[in-house]
Structure 1
């Protein structure tokens, strides 16, 4: 009667080595340092995190910020990003803000798009028109500056293939 234990242990060791190699390959091909938020690198955010948190809290105490639109859309209908920005004290729409929009895919910088400054139309800040080719997860980012106050807000969207 043959004993297959040595063969099984060898195969298990090879699977473990293969998974280690695969993990290293994925880590090298997708470095974290290439990720950015509102066109700021991870290193810049780490270095200035205390000021960013204070600025964010101060901004959110003064203003209401929310993205508008469905979180699940198809590739044909996802053309613009909409943002509502109002003052918490009087509830009025903020018209003197500078809003810059960015579109990115999580975990990659290959498809990042700088959509430029937004335009205020009927109470909503809207980005320039854009087109997405692939379905999947997208993140819209908006860098909002009002005087000395600034904030970067993000919203994740799931884009499905359009049904023709």
Structure 2
């Protein structure tokens, strides 16, 4: 006589199953997004981040020694679509141009390294180092990252610009 004729329906098993399916679907979605957006390697100081992490104290000490003697000036650079050249002025603390420096530059976008343009050939003009010609095909934000080596000390400088 305990049965009143009423059929009770319990939703708890359906709620638990739907929560489990939701978690599985969100896991699949997370993996799909991660695979479609791979990690971009940071190339600060023109090295892999593992090398920078391992040698950061030596890099900063070399930068400090460089900054005590020299200054890198990139302020005269404006990039545009098409052919470009960059100017790098290296001066001592008295403002005299420094000749004989080893200069390397990378023109890169801040969020990706797939558009990097590495510049190794620089011409000394008597006052500044002038890069080989290179071409920019895309507008937007660009960075000019420079490494200058003089007498075993390294100086680094980043110049941010916008290309229209």
The normalised TM-score by structure 1 is 0.74
Q: What SS does the corresponding residue of 1:152 show, helix, strand or coil?
A: strand
Question: Counterpart in 2 of 1:127?
Answer: 131
Question: Counterpart in 1 of 2:64?
Answer: 57
Q: Does 1:48 align with 2:76?
A: no
Q: 1:87 aligns with which of 80, 87, 92?
A: 92
Q: Could you say if the C-alpha distance between residues 22 and 159 of structure 1 is closer, same or farther in structure 2, counting changes exceeding 3 Å? A: farther
Deviations 1:100-122 (A, max 9, x none): 12111112111111111322114
The normalised TM-score by structure 2 is 0.74
Question: Counterpart in 1 of 2:81?
Answer: 75
Q: Residues 16-35 of structure 1: matches in 2 within 5 Å?
A: 21=29, 25=33, 29-32=37-40, 34-35=41-42
* RMSD over aligned Cα atoms: 2.6
Runs of 5+ consecutive residues of structure 1 not aligned to the other structure: 1-13
Q: Residues 95-106 of structure 1: matches in 2 within 5 Å?
A: 95-106=99-110
Aligned length, in residue pairs: 141
What is the CA distance between 1:26 and its match in structure 2? 5.6
Question: Counterpart in 1 of 2:12?
Answer: none
Separation in 2, partners of 1:98, 1:70: 19
Q: Could you say if the C-alpha distance between residues 80 and 23 of structure 1 is closer, same or farther in structure 2, counting changes exceeding 3 Å? A: farther
Question: Counterpart in 1 of 2:143?
Answer: 139
